[in-house]
Amino acid sequence: MACLFASVCLFTGCAKKVPQQGVAQSAAQSTETVVQNAGTQSAPAPTKNDPVVITAWYTFANTNEKNYQEAISRFNASQDKYKVVGVSQSWNEINEKVMSSLKAGNYPDIIAGEAPTISNYVKEGLVVDFLPYITDPVTGIKDFDDFLSSILDECKQWDGQMYMFPISRTGGVYYYNKTFFDEHGLTPPSTWDELYETSRKIHEITGTQAIGFDYLDDSYIDMLVQRGGAYIDVADKTAGFTSDISKEAVEYFKAMSDEGILRLKGEDRSLYMPFANGLVYSFVGTSASSSSVRSSVENAFEIGYAPIPQQGEKPYVTMWGVSQSVFKSTPERQQGAFEFLKSFTGTDMNAQWAIGYNALPVRQSSIDSPAYQEFIQTGNPVIKVLVEQSSRYGYQPAVSGSYDTNNAITVALDEILIGVESVDKGLAEAQAEADAALRR
């Protein structure tokens, strides 16, 4: 069980995956025992008039926590059959606590996680399929077609069953120094070729690095998929790192690095600080960083925002974000958990949540709502980018070994770009490591 959850990444504080550190390795109880406990969780029997208590674990902070608690308060005040109790958990301890709670059979009803994380629970039969609840003629979601199809596709990737309930999504954004661009007659690139040429011009003007990528692995995947390549072949359980399309994508970034155009993130937590300090004039990062970008730049220059470049046969941008899942328990508690999530993703509440998260709502009606439209116009301009590229969003498949696959290509890209490994050898080693993880 320790191996199963060693790479689980729960409750991301931003919409991009963040690797967990210090996950407990001492859990010796077998998966079978954990599953048995999950199916036999017990609680004191409520009296006839007591509401069914639903526990939701979260690690949201600041505005996100405020909005989550408001959603809980609204739901609890709207009816008297269920009572949701939100429990804040430490980011650094959440994995160990989930493990311990599963082993003890005293776990929360609602948790949050990315698709690879939830996939571990799906594999062990621990979480609820939402579709029977959603399609119920009495208590279901009658306007379920209002949810964005690109987001639902990710949540239904387990043979059409839906084990994740989406709450918001973010995606990559091209941030650029608009003041500098305007002064030198530059325009934000719409293709990868234009990105290269624009970055080269910046380098020629300034003599400094022009472009950086907070998540180079995802930018590589964006380019790979757009050009018809495969990141992971789910059926064959293999990675697509050694294909010609993959090599061309890596050579693109390698050439940028060799020319002095590309700034590697290195020890920087994000490239928004070098961007704010004029050390790089553009970078690709998550929309969730937009507030940090603005506060770091302040009035030094005007910030520009543009969609991720597209070039190839398939429009594609990697989509990021956590979803809610419900552990199996009793019919009453599972129904109550679903009722809360249905309320949480109502049009107005989902818009409010997305605004606080600098994110894209999961409902079209939330995007069209007056509050969200006002936010687009007067709040955070990065949201316009998310909406513009919403039809291009795709996801990385949640299969066993996906974290190791991602780690393999991340390491390979770093080693190739700094010259430790050649393109062919680095990708071959990443391919072997990824294939072994996917077939394990």
**253 against 23, higher pLDDT:** 253
Decide: 128 and 162 in contact? Cβ < 8 Å: no
What pLDDT is recorded for position 47?
58
Please name the residues in contact with 189: beta carbons below 8 A apart, sequence gap of 6 or more: 174, 195, 197, 198, 306, 309
* Residues 31, 33: Cα–Cα separation, whole Å: 5
Indicate the average pLDDT of the chain.
Answer: 87
Decide: 74 and 343 in contact? Cβ < 8 Å: yes
Radius of gyration of the chain (CA): 22
Q: What is the mean pLDDT of residues 67-72?
A: 94
What pLDDT is recorded for position 19?
33
Q: Which domains does the chain have, with CATH numbers?
A: 2-169+321-368 (3.40.190.10), 171-319+397-438 (3.40.190.10)
**23 against 311, higher pLDDT:** 311
In terms of phi and psi (left: phi > 0; alpha: psi -120 to 50; beta: otherwise), the region of 190 is alpha
Per-residue pLDDT band at 396 (split at 50, 70, 90): confident
Per-residue pLDDT band at 284 (split at 50, 70, 90): very high
Decide: 393 and 387 in contact? Cβ < 8 Å: no
First to last CA, the chain: 15
Residue 291 has pLDDT above 60, yes or no: yes
- Quote the percentage of the chain above a pLDDT of 90: 68
Angle between the N-to-C axes of helices 423-438 and 244-258, in degrees from 0 to 180, rounded to the nearest 10? 130
Per-residue pLDDT band at 46 (split at 50, 70, 90): low
What pLDDT is recorded for position 191?
98
Query: Which run of H or of E encompasses 336?
Result: helix 331-344
Question: In the numeric block, which tokens belong to residue 209?
Answer: 């690095």
Residue 304 has pLDDT above 90, yes or no: yes
* Residues 127, 6: Cα–Cα separation, whole Å: 19
Residue 60 has pLDDT above 70, yes or no: yes
Reported as a single tens digit per residue, the pLDDT across 98-152 is 879 988 989 999 998 888 778 888 988 999 999 999 999 999 999 999 999 989 9
Reported as a single tens digit per residue, the pLDDT across 15-37 is 344 333 222 222 223 333 344 44
Reported as a single tens digit per residue, the pLDDT across 187-227 is 999 999 999 999 999 999 999 999 999 999 999 999 999 99
Decide: 61 and 12 in contact? Cβ < 8 Å: no
Q: What is the mean pLDDT of residues 352-362?
A: 89
Residue 358 has pLDDT above 90, yes or no: no
Q: Which residue has the tokens 């062919």?
A: 424
**322 against 308, higher pLDDT:** 308
Residues 28/30/35/41 CA torsion (nearest 10 deg) = -40
Q: Which of 135-139, 366-370, 397-401 has the lowest mean pLDDT?
A: 397-401
Whole-angstrom CA distances from 267 to 78, 262, 263, 272, 328 are 48, 15, 11, 13, 41
Residue 261 has pLDDT above 70, yes or no: yes
Per-residue pLDDT band at 379 (split at 50, 70, 90): low
Residue 289 has pLDDT above 90, yes or no: no
Residue 402 has pLDDT above 70, yes or no: yes
Q: What is the mean pLDDT of residues 83-95?
A: 85
